[in-house]
Amino acid sequence: MRFSKQRSIILEELKLRTDHPAADQIYLAVKKKLPDISLGTIYRNLEQLAAGGIIRELHYGKGQKRFDAHQTPHIHFRCLNCDTIEDMPMEITIPVPDTLHPWMQYREITDSRLEYLGLCPLCCKDKAGDTAGISAPIK
Amino acid sequence: MRFSKQRSIILEELKLRTDHPAADQIYLAVKKKLPDISLGTIYRNLEQLAAGGIIRELHYGKGQKRFDAHQTPHIHFRCLNCDTIEDMPMEITIPVPDTLHPWMQYREITDSRLEYLGLCPLCCKDKAGDTAGISAPIK
DNA sequence: CTGAATGCAAAGCCTTTGCATACGG
DNA sequence: CCGTATGCAAAGGCTTTGCATTCAG
């Protein structure tokens, strides 16, 4: 894989962040260092990096795709209020379905996804305090 | 909630199916009974029904939203080849994160999602047999 | 009757893609 | 050098929305 200035900076930005940004957020961030970069380039690079297994594309959630440069296995926690995705620090074991079950006979499982949903510290606090908080709808 | 002919038929169609169709698939199916129905109506109704808790909106996967009229709790199995979503018949218990963990201190978990990915019987067979199969890309 | 739902079409997001140009190895 | 990546802008899916009309309760 070729490493243009754009690609490097996009990857670097993604590695720095822990909030699993969407393409447009990455665009805004990278634009500060490379004012002429285009959204198309962002998308093309995210695609390439994902294809190369260097980053991961998250299609949890409803709206845009989110991206993750973290490579160690981890579970995600998504805030239903502000939509931030955090990595959970504790170990959680995903159950393995009974492969002897007749239903599994002609099916093959290759992957699984687990995520938890709820309120992040900020939104938890806002919700408890008053009704001000973030304007995004809860749930 | 008001129950127009359209809404009834959309819900009925969704209850009949087990493949968790997307909006356009529902549109095509319902169109056979109500040739004049519009896609906008499909979307508006799916939204209403989901808001009323009568159906569930699945935003797993990458492309379109998928819809589910099944109310009993169940885990989904999604085929990476043909993108069908099936309900898994066996019981699977989703692990509960340690609420005493310091990281959980100021966060609140209200929901969780678990799904398994792999190949459905049809795609499993196609893959084993020859290279013909369904044209959709694997993975 | 009256607000809610509909069909139609236009508009909206997010994402992808075509093209000529610039760049990396 | 050559093929890949870029910027720009246009096009593409899927979904939402405005509007006048129709319908359900």
Contacts of A118 in chain B (CB under 8 A): 107-111
pLDDT digits (tens, 9 = 90+) for A24-82: 999 999 999 999 999 999 999 999 999 999 999 998 766 799 999 998 999 999 999 89
Distance CA B45, CA B34 (A): 14
Contacts of A97 in chain B (CB under 8 A): 88, 90, 92, 116
CB contact under 8 A, B119 and A110: yes
With contact defined as beta carbons under 8 Å apart, do B93 and B51 qualify?
no
CA–CA min distance A37, chain B (Å): 26
The pLDDT of residue A129: 60
> For B103-107, what is the mean pLDDT?
95
Is residue A43 within 8 angstroms of chain B, CB to CB?
A: no
With contact defined as beta carbons under 8 Å apart, do A116 and B112 qualify?
yes
Phi–psi pair at A132, nearest 5 degrees:
-60, -90
pLDDT of residue B92 exceeding 50, the answer is yes
Q: Calculate helix-pair angle for A5-16, A23-31, nearest 10 degrees.
A: 110
How would you classify residue A118: left for phi > 0, otherwise alpha for psi between -120 and 50, otherwise beta?
A: left
Is residue A59 within 8 angstroms of chain B, CB to CB?
A: yes
CB contact under 8 A, B107 and A61: no
With contact defined as beta carbons under 8 Å apart, do A65 and A24 qualify?
no
Is residue B115 within 8 angstroms of chain A, CB to CB?
A: yes
B3's tokens: 């129950």
A23 touches strand C (CB under 7 A): yes
CB contact under 8 A, B110 and A80: yes
Radius of gyration of chain B (CA): 18
A43-CA/D2-C1' distance, Å:
24
Determine the 3-state secondary structure of B80 from DSSP.
Answer: coil
B48's tokens: 């209403």
Is residue B65 within 8 angstroms of chain A, CB to CB?
A: yes
B81-CA/C24-C1' distance, Å:
36
Dump the DSSP string for A10-38.
HHHHHHH-SS--BHHHHHHHHHTT-TT--
Can you list the alpha helix ranges (DSSP code H) found in chain A? 5-16, 23-31, 39-51, 121-129
The pLDDT of residue B97: 96
The pLDDT of residue B110: 94
The pLDDT of residue B21: 96
Bridge partners, A78 (sequence order)? A85, A117
Question: Mutation test of the interface with chain A: which of B80, B113, B126, choosing the one with the most A Cβ atoms within 10 A?
Answer: B113
With contact defined as beta carbons under 8 Å apart, do B54 and B45 qualify?
no
The residue among B112, B82, B85, B29 whose CA lies nearest residue A76 is: B112
- CATH code 3.30.1490.190 region(s) in chain B: 72-139
Fold designation for A72-139: Dna Ligase; domain 1 (3.30.1490)
- CATH code 1.10.10.10 region(s) in chain B: 1-70
CATH of domain B1-70: 1.10.10.10
